[in-house]
Amino acid sequence: MKFSFIVFNLILTTTAIAKQEYCHGAKGHIHSNGGGVVADSAKVQDTVFVDKGAQVCGTAEVAGAAKILFNAIVEDQAKVSGQAIISGSARVSGKAQVLDQSLVEGGAKVFGEAQVRNFARVRGLAQVFQQAQVFENAVVSGSAKVFGNAQIKGKEKINLNAEIDGEKIVNNK
Q: What is the pLDDT of residue 20?
A: 57
| Sign of the torsion angle spanned by Cα atoms 113, 40, 49, 90 | positive
Beta partners for residue 91, in sequence order: 73, 109
Beta partners for residue 66, in sequence order: none
Please state the rounded mean pLDDT for residues 30-54. Answer: 97
Is residue 4 a part of any domain in this protein? no
Is residue 104 a part of any domain in this protein? yes
Domain count, the chain: 1
Q: What is the CATH number of the domain that holds 41?
A: 2.160.10.10
Range of the domain at 132: 30-171
Please state the rounded mean pLDDT for residues 149-156. Answer: 92
Does residue 172 register a pLDDT over 70? Answer: no
Q: What is the pLDDT of residue 165?
A: 86
The answer for residues whose C-beta is within 8 angstroms of residue 67's C-beta and 6 or more apart is 48, 49, 51, 83, 84, 85, 86, 87
Does residue 58 register a pLDDT over 60? Answer: yes
Confidence band for 21, pLDDT divided at 50, 70 and 90: confident
Strand order in the sheet with 168-171: 28-30, 37-39, 55-56, 73-74, 91-92, 109-110, 127-128, 145-147, 163-165, 168-171
59-92 pLDDT tens trace:
999 999 999 999 999 999 999 999 999 999 999 9
Confidence band for 162, pLDDT divided at 50, 70 and 90: confident
Does residue 9 register a pLDDT over 70? Answer: no
Percent of the chain beyond pLDDT 90? 76
- What percent helix, strand, coil does the chain show, rounded to 5? 10, 30, 55
Q: What is the pLDDT of residue 14?
A: 40
Is residue 121 a part of any domain in this protein? yes
Q: Report d(CA 164, CA 126) in Å as an integer.
A: 11
Is residue 105 a part of any domain in this protein? yes
Q: Report d(CA 115, CA 119) in Å as an integer.
A: 12
Confidence band for 5, pLDDT divided at 50, 70 and 90: very low
